[in-house]
């Protein structure tokens, strides 16, 4: 049985924290920029800290954009985190209407100016519908955010968690086996680790390690 867990390395930062979080759950993830590994892995985590257009430039240059799009087409387990959520959309306003992966059609928009940007710190996630990714996580639990933009999917049923900051925005989405969070689970204590564990159990067919 394929149990390989891959973390996509495209120079977008925060990789070590994600690796350590996954290791703490009893797994040994592989950091890679190899498109073939990303296509064939049982579970892929796409992290990211930084700017959307620069991230897409690097994903495309490394041949990773096509590999990630292939996973989306085949409905294979993929978890996007922060910038990794935003690049799943069709287009981002960050950097000037830049095309993204379009795995989940939609637009990345800037947070409203009536609150301090970036949105940084702990905030609550309202669970809009039941999903296995929330197993063992209470409604309105706190997670750690650092971002200035947010994803606005075309299909609002893909939004399974929302957070208020000037306005309500998508903080968790799920479309088939593609799941993503605007917050950083690896910086969100035991609750964040629980979310990573839930994703990996889903991806690995119920296996815990």
Catalytic positions are: 82, 184, 186
Residue 143, SS3? strand
Q: How far is CA 107 from CA 52, 86, 142, 162, 165, in A?
A: 12, 8, 25, 16, 18
**Residue closest to 53 by CA, chosen among 14, 4, 93, 109:** 93
Alpha-carbon gap, residue 152 to 91, rounded angstroms:
10
Q: How far apart are CA 114 and CA 68, in angstroms?
A: 35
Among residues 189, 146, 203, the alpha carbon closest in space to that of 14 is found at: 146
**Could you identify the residue written with the tokens 């296996």?**
207
């Amino acid at each position: 049985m394929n149990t390989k867990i891959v973390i996509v390395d495209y120079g977008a930062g925060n990789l070590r924290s994600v690796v350590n979080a996954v290791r703490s759950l009893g797994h040994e993830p592989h950091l890679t920029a190899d498109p073939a590994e990303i296509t064939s892995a049982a579970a892929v985590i796409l992290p990211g800290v930084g700017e959307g257009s620069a991230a897409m430039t690097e994903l495309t240059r490394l041949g990773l954009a096509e590999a990630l799009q292939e996973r989306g087409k085949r409905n294979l387990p993929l978890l996007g985190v922060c910038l990794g959520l935003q690049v799943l959309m069709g287009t981002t306003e960050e950097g000037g209407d830049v095309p993204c992966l379009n795995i989940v059609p939609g637009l990345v928009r800037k947070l409203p100016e009536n609150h301090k940007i970036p949105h940084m710190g702990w905030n609550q996630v309202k669970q809009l519908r039941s999903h296995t990714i929330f197993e063992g996580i209470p409604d309105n639990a706190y997670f750690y955010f650092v971002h200035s933009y947010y994803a606005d999917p075309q299909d609002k049923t893909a939004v399974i968690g929302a957070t208020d900051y000037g306005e309500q925005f998508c903080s968790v989405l799920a479309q088939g086996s593609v799941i993503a969070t605007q917050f950083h689970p690896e910086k969100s204590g035991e609750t964040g680790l629980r979310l990573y564990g839930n994703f990996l159990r889903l991806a690995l067919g119920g296996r815990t390690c």
